[in-house]
Chains A and B, each alone.
Chain A
Amino acid sequence: MDNISALLGGFADVITPMNLLIALLGVIVGTAVGVLPGIGPAMTVALLLPLTYGLPVEQSLILFGGIFYGGMYGGSTTSILLNTPGESSSVVTALEGNKMAKTGRAAQALATSAIGSFVAGTIGTMLIVLVMPQVVDFAITLGSPEFLAIILVAFVGTAAILGSSRVRGFAALLMGIALGLVGTDFVTGQQRLTFGSPFLADNIDVVVIAVGIFAVGEALWVAAHLRRRAATVIPVGRPWLSRADWGRSWKPWLRGTALGFPFGAIPAGGAEIPTFMSYLAERRLSKHPEEFGKGAIEGVAGPEAANNASAAGTMVPLLALGLPTNATAAIIIAAFMSYGIEPGPLLLTKQPDLVWMLVASLFIGNFFLLVLNLPLAPTWAKLLRIPRPYLYAGILFFASMGAYAVQGQPFDLYVLLALGFVGFAMRRFGPPVLPLIVGAILGPLFERHLRRSLQQSGGDISGLVGGPVALVCYFIILGVLVWPLVARLRRGARGDDDDADDGGDDDTPSGPVSTSTIPNWG
């Protein structure tokens, strides 16, 4: 087993007192910030990015491993203790978790979530070790046309599948790609969309985009709709599980892991679908179906495991292909780029030590998480009492510090505020945030592969469809784009037994009834 020995090498690199301390720091800071209301894992990682600027690459990757899993776990604490999930992936956890907390079983809900996250994280990280090198072996044979097609799948997937409205998803995606265009063309050195400003010639750093859209946008949005009431706190004891709870939890953990990992690994899979599927599966398989809706422990154990396993799964396309499949992964790619590391299939061959070290630190971060969170849960819950003015002032404080630290230019702060207002508008009008970030990160890569493949074919368009992989990708894209149309036509063909509401066909927009339907596309 080559991978295993490489992984052990990674462990050997990580396990020094200094590095372990950094991993511990990452887990603590990641969890603490993740618990804070209004801050999800993606914003946690974005805000903490500047922490890593001064560190050597290796140590900052270790820090990231801790922050990544810590931020993931922190979010679920809030959704259990309050019925307000910060992330769409913790929505399902809140369903049963909050009911459990209300009936005095907060400690058990937190425990099954912490241990389930550990189990899923460990298995998931092990699966990374097994799967990722295979994907790399395959990906390394791919040329630019294939990569172009894969990136297109990621584009269409994030824009069309996630979120509720396709046209809004594509609007966000195109805005992101347009932001990615700003700067100096890498082949010809021509300035694009810089409007003569020397500051823009250097491209807008992805970190600035992410912090602006996530952090500043969120702060402005919250400011416009500040909730002016407190919620009742649910007292938390030290998390523990009884024998019966263990017995009811371990199977959901494993099933959740099995569901979560593959969804995390495919582009545009995300954590929403597997967590929801896990919830449905547990409700069907449970011996206590009557408890569902009143605080069934299976309904926390399964989705939480699925959530963390999908987080682990995202590391596969991230490390093997350089594709971000969720917001947190997108920021990690931004972090890689700020170190001049280009994630992609070449990373494992060029810098294998780095990759295995990151994987090893994921294991270690995951372990620290378990050790820390069981005793510290009551402490984390106290963080919810930070007054909102201080909390959001703190977010702006760290956001401007991070954005300035990228290049040491006050100009970036103005860009940050402008992007904050873009983020505000997106929260107001509904275009999802993820496609914009993905577009900004993958847009330049997309153009590079486009130009390279046409260069190889001497400008012949047919050079874009090179090989079976690209063909499969284009078929998938076609399927995703055409499917809603087909579904609508089939529904139309079945006749009038359908709800009148569903009749919002492209060519018959008639009367007030059909206007109440929102077509998928256009």
Chain B
Amino acid sequence: MSTEATTAPTRVRDRAQYGLCAALALVGLVVIWDATRIGAATSSNDPVGPRAMPFIIGAALLVVSALYALDVYRGGVGEQEAGEDVELGHPADWKTVGLLAGAFLLNAVLMEPLGWVISGALLFAAAAFALGNRHHVRGLAIGLALSLITFYAFAIGLDVNLPAGILQGIL
């Protein structure tokens, strides 16, 4: 029970939680809407059909989102996850999160055209930069070393799916 959070007399209500409830309800609605779209397909062999489960889960999601909202209304607060490298108590640093997500997306876009060795090295360097690394050359060098090692060990050594991209034939 997260009641210990309530000892502080001036506790700010965490209204952002309603957003999560709304998201849950939305997912529930989408699941139900998607299920109505499936043609009726029950048979004597399969009396339940593919629609029952989404209906149950969608309805349950709606119920839980309502109960969740009720809990929040009554002052319920979820505990933020602590960790070794996490310092709570500051507002979230959205710039770092955005940069990190950007680095990740860049890799997703570049992976097939450029190949894992290049895109992986860029991902590492860009993510390290986003997280405050100030040694750009070192970041890129470590990234390149990692992507080369993983490419040779996994793609060539163990036949794991990794694209060679424009370096096809060179590596």
Interface hits, B111-163 → A, CB 8 Å: 111-112, 116, 120, 123-125, 127-133, 139, 142-143, 146-147, 150, 154, 157-163
Q: C-beta contact mask, B88-127 vs A, less than 8 Å → 1, else 0? A: 1010111011001101110111011000100010011101
A181, B85: Cβ atoms closer than 8 Å: no
Q: C-beta contact mask, A301-330 vs B, less than 8 Å → 1, else 0? A: 000000000000000000000000000000
Shortest distance between the CB of A353 and any CB in chain B (Å):
23
Number of residues on chain B facing chain A (CB within 8 A): 94
Interface hits, A60-98 → B, CB 8 Å: 78, 82, 84, 86
Q: A37-B85, A516-B75 are in contact. Are A225 and B57 (CB under 8 A)?
A: no
Q: A170-B64, A178-B31, A181-B57 are in contact. Are A54 and B159 (CB under 8 A)?
A: yes
A84, B54: Cβ atoms closer than 8 Å: no
Residues of the A chain whose Cβ atoms lie less than 8 Å from the Cβ of B86: 221-222, 225-227
Shortest distance between the CB of B159 and any CB in chain A (Å):
5
B166 within 8 A of A: no
A138 within 8 A of B: no
Q: C-beta contact mask, B67-86 vs A, less than 8 Å → 1, else 0? A: 11011001111111101111
Among B80, B120, B128, contact of A430 (Cβ-Cβ < 8 Å): B80
Q: A178-B61, A223-B130 are in contact. Are A388 and B54 (CB under 8 A)?
A: no
B24, A171: Cβ atoms closer than 8 Å: yes
Q: A216-B104, A430-B77, A455-B45 are in contact. Are A222 and B85 (CB under 8 A)?
A: yes
Number of residues on chain A facing chain B (CB within 8 A): 95
Shortest distance between the CB of B131 and any CB in chain A (Å):
4
B167 within 8 A of A: no
B12 within 8 A of A: no
Chain A interface (Cβ < 8 Å from any Cβ of B): 37-38, 50-51, 53-55, 78, 82, 84, 86, 164-165, 167-168, 170-171, 174-175, 177-178, 181, 185, 187-188, 190-193, 195, 216, 218-229, 387-394, 396-398, 400-401, 404-408, 410, 413-414, 416-417, 420-421, 424-425, 427-431, 443, 447, 450-451, 454-455, 458-459, 501, 504, 509, 514-522
Taking A193-B31, A389-B128 as given, write out 7 further A-B residue pairs in contact, using a Cβ cutoff of 8 Å, ordered by the A residue number.
Answer: A224-B97, A225-B87, A390-B128, A394-B124, A397-B146, A401-B150, A410-B112
Q: Can you report 27 residue pairs joining A to B where beta carbons are below 8 Å apart? A: A37-B85, A51-B158, A165-B78, A175-B24, A178-B31, A185-B50, A193-B30, A193-B54, A218-B83, A221-B83, A224-B97, A225-B87, A227-B84, A389-B127, A390-B139, A397-B146, A401-B150, A405-B154, A405-B160, A413-B104, A413-B108, A417-B101, A458-B44, A458-B47, A516-B75, A518-B75, A519-B76
